[in-house]
Structure 1
Amino acid sequence: MSVSAFDSALTGDLLADADVRALFSDSRRIADMLRVESGLACAQARLGVIPPGVACRIVDAGTALQPDLAAIGAATARDGVPVPELVRQLRAALDAEAAAYVHYGATSQDIVDTAGVLALRDLCDLVDRRARDLVQRLAALAARHRATLCLARTRTQPAVPTSFGLRALAWARPLSRERARLAALRGEVLCVQFGGAAGNLSALGDRGPAVADALAGELGLAPSVPAWHGERDGLLALTDALARIAGALGKLGQDVAHGCQAEVAELRLSSGGGSSTMPNKANPVAAETLVALARHAAGSLAAAHQAQLHALERDGAAWTLEWLNLPQVAMAAGGGLARARAVLDALTVDTHRMAAAVTGGAGLPMAEAASFALAEHVPRVDAQATVAAACRTASDAGEHLLDVLARQSDAAVDWADLRRAERLLGPAPDLVDRALSQLASDERQGETGKPRTK
């Protein structure tokens, strides 16, 4: 078994997503750190902190550098961070004058954190695009099935008739809300990190804050003075948002897997997985994967909370813990969104099977409607007792509940009317329309950056 299932040749394609994995690859991490070092040199040259010609040479050397990853790995085992060896290699590619100004006034955490934010910015863009697409697809599914009769199940047991459109909305709405939360976090989290040895910019003196702001401008990040070396709540909030996205996808996957059970068979996935020994099996692998990723993200999030405990000005142990957990949650969310799209592409809704679960057999899901209809003619307690007894009779005798009630009760209830799909659905289609209208409004406001309605 691989140390990371996301990177495994056996399970990587099942659990991971190539685009998300690339954001956290060693090559991307090194490239981003070199980008930060180059951006720092440009910012300092622009402010006259270092000679103007030096910055161009540092940028050129950083662009051309072919880092020795083995040497960086070995040095990281000693230093606890890859920056010292990367800086040594960059300096070795430069003349003495330019080498003296590489990493000028910075500390390793400045480079690692800012490089990490560059990757997270791309991650947020990717997650938002995929979540937006999924919300649109789910909204279309809900609209298509606004009046599709479906059996609601509470605590896994048959409950009352509902609309399948409402169930699809329960998959879409949390994702829309998480898009809004993620957008709000961008300004808080996608900030430059530049504080020097202890966060007080001591090496650069009065010029330090201007360098930090200029570096932010070079990289297209929000400024942050003073630095946030020991303040990890922003990254934790982002990790939490990603875990909630994975959780919303897990709910979708769990519901789809339930609907694909042979004894339910209200949903089908055209690309189900096979069994090594049972030719009849079509396992809902993609849906199950969403559930597994959601649970993995929740567990990783718990560990990520520990990373908020940064001691004093900087803390190596808590910092390292972020490297172990944030990419895991990101993979669960970003990769899960791609997997969820595959689930929807393969999904078929059996509307006849759904309706039969309500109206077929003994018709027990109509018990609530029957008790309320009967309560218009007799005390409600008596109505509920009568319907409860009729449910037992219908189950034992293999009759339909409404037929039993029509025979046993002399109340002037139009029992046939209760069988109509429109009567069984009640306000559910209108609720779908109302929710879709609000969802569309929320999504439009999200695109324009306006605050969403509460």
Structure 2
Amino acid sequence: MSTSLSDSPVYAGLFGDPEIAAHLTPQAEIAAMIRYEAALAEVEARLGLIPAAAGPAIAAALDGLTVAPEELAAGTRSAGVPVPALVARLRAAAGPHGSHVHWGATSQDVLDGALLLRLRPVLEILERRLRRLTLALLAAAEAHATLAMAGRTRSQIAAPTTLGLRIAAWAAPLGRCLDRLAELRPRLLVVPFGGAVGNLSVLGEAGPAAMDALADALGLAPAAKPWGTERDGVVELANWLAMVSGLLARIGADLMLMGRSEIGEMTAGEGGGSSTMPQKANPVLAETLVALGRQNAGAAATMAGALLHTEERDAAAWSLEWPVLPQMLLATGAGLLHAGDLAGSLAPRPARMAAMLEAGGGAARAEALAFALAREMPLGEAQGLLKQAARALAAEGGRLADHLAPLCAARGVAVPEVDDAPMLANAAAFIARLRAAFAHLTEPGSA
């Protein structure tokens, strides 16, 4: 077993995400830290905080500079963070202007800045996939809006519903997660720059202006104040990742149940084979969605501990984020890839759905029969008749309507006729309303 499934050569196909992983490598982090330091030097030179020539010279010296992660290992073990070792390397590269590298900044500024610079493209990847998945599910919901099937509550057949409405229940919260991401971004992607204890005192009265200029240079939002110990943004991101993963897991769980051998209402994806049972087609991707959702649920709880940042810096709380957040990003990315594959291969089996709806002698229409009888008698009395008929059905088999008939005759009424027309009409209407609610969503690249 690898220490991380996401980059295991064996398991990466299930739990990995190469596109997102490219932004989370040590090399990517070092490159982002260098970018932060170069931008800081240029900003401070323009504001007269360091010599005017120092900014362009430092930026030129750092442009294209690569630092091997191994060069920072010893310094990281000593300082607890890689920044001091990196700054020493950058100062050497900047030559006579090296003393002005990292002017007024602190390690947390640089590491947080590098995180945000890498999160920005990662969030764009996740948004693109989530948008595509949501639109695919909306289209599937519309295509199967009136395909009747047995609705289940607490694992039991309850009343008729439609496949479209079930798929719509997958799509709706994912669409809302796109809205949540848009709301989250401006709270998360905020420039980190506070210096030693979060007041930029070594920059004098130019501190606020330097912070704003650095935000502009890095393409981040300006901050009202330095926020180093205020980890609500990264924890909100973790919660969002856990929410998306949990919603994807819900899809996986439904697909696993619908595809059970004795149910067989729908399949999705290519089933995985068994090492010993030739007939098996295991729901591998659906299972993986459930596993990834559970993984991120636990990780989000761990990330909540990062909120306990004491005083002006707390490395014990801060370093808690480093192993957890990247894995959450990868898990969410992998889940979206798998969910996209499943959404594109949904294969309903209408005959099996019809059979499941009629299983149990038509008991799925007990609610409809009770309310239809309530036109002739009080609802409580009508429900009592259906309970008696249901008990007889469970004991003797047959059809619910046949057990209900003598009970109705004893009260001088006939067994009412019920059909699924109202349910089908409502399902189609609700799906149309959902599509209208998400009219602002467009296919990635089409807007």
Give the TM interval when normalised to the shorter protein.
over 0.9
- Which blocks of at least 5 consecutive residues in structure 1 are unaligned? 450-454
Q: Name the aligned partner's letter for residue 328 of structure 1.
A: Q
Contact 2:252 2:286 in 1 (8 A): yes
TM-superposed deviation, 1:231: 0.9
Q: Name the aligned partner's letter for residue 184 of structure 2.
A: L
Whether 2:13 is the aligned partner of 1:13: answer yes
TM-score scaled by structure 2? 0.94
Alignment of 1:413-428 (within 5 A): 413=414, 415=416, 417-418=417-418, 420-422=419-421, 425=424, 427-428=426-427
Q: Name the aligned partner's letter for residue 49 of structure 2.
A: V
The alignment partner of 1:158 has SS state of strand
Contact 2:31 2:66 in 1 (8 A): no
Whether 2:122 is the aligned partner of 1:123: answer yes
Contact 2:269 2:342 in 1 (8 A): no
Q: Name the aligned partner's letter for residue 79 of structure 1.
A: A
TM-superposed deviation, 1:353: 1.3
The aligned counterpart of 2:23 is 23
TM-superposed deviation, 1:395: 3.7
Overall identity of the aligned pairs, in %: 43
Q: Name the aligned partner's letter for residue 290 of structure 1.
A: L
The aligned counterpart of 2:61 is 61
Contact 1:362 1:395 in 2 (8 A): no
Alignment of 1:101-112 (within 5 A): 101-112=100-111
The aligned counterpart of 1:366 is 365
Whether 2:71 is the aligned partner of 1:88: answer no
- Which blocks of at least 5 consecutive residues in structure 2 are unaligned? none
The alignment partner of 2:356 has SS state of helix
Q: Name the aligned partner's letter for residue 42 of structure 1.
A: E
TM-superposed deviation, 1:412: 4.7
Contact 1:146 1:433 in 2 (8 A): no
TM-superposed deviation, 1:430: 2.2
Matched pairs, number:
444
TM-superposed deviation, 1:76: 0.9
Q: Name the aligned partner's letter for residue 277 of structure 1.
A: T
The aligned counterpart of 1:158 is 157
Instruction: State the distance in 2 between where 1:250 and 1:133 align.
Output: 17
Contact 1:373 1:413 in 2 (8 A): no
The alignment partner of 2:320 has SS state of helix
Instruction: State the distance in 1 between where 2:110 and 2:406 align.
Output: 80
Contact 1:83 1:108 in 2 (8 A): yes
The alignment partner of 2:6 has SS state of coil
Whether 2:388 is the aligned partner of 1:385: answer no
Whether 2:339 is the aligned partner of 1:340: answer yes
The aligned counterpart of 1:48 is 48
The aligned counterpart of 2:356 is 357
TM-score scaled by structure 1? 0.92
- Per-residue deviation, residues 283-308 of structure 1 (Å, max 9, x unmatched): 11111111111111110111111111
The alignment partner of 1:440 has SS state of coil
Q: Name the aligned partner's letter for residue 378 of structure 2.
A: P
The alignment partner of 1:376 has SS state of coil
Alignment of 1:375-414 (within 5 A): 375-406=374-405, 409-410=408-409, 412-413=413-414
The aligned counterpart of 1:186 is 185
Instruction: State the distance in 2 between where 1:430 and 1:66 align.
Output: 58
**What do you get for the CA RMSD once the two structures are aligned?**
2.2
TM-superposed deviation, 1:414: 6.1
Instruction: State the distance in 2 between where 1:290 and 1:387 align.
Output: 40
Contact 1:20 1:335 in 2 (8 A): no
TM-superposed deviation, 1:43: 0.9
The aligned counterpart of 2:311 is 312
Contact 1:161 1:425 in 2 (8 A): no
Whether 2:220 is the aligned partner of 1:212: answer no
Instruction: State the distance in 1 between where 2:229 and 2:249 align.
Output: 33
Whether 2:159 is the aligned partner of 1:172: answer no
Instruction: State the distance in 1 between where 2:117 and 2:68 align.
Output: 22
TM-superposed deviation, 1:35: 0.6
The alignment partner of 1:161 has SS state of strand
TM-superposed deviation, 1:203: 1.6
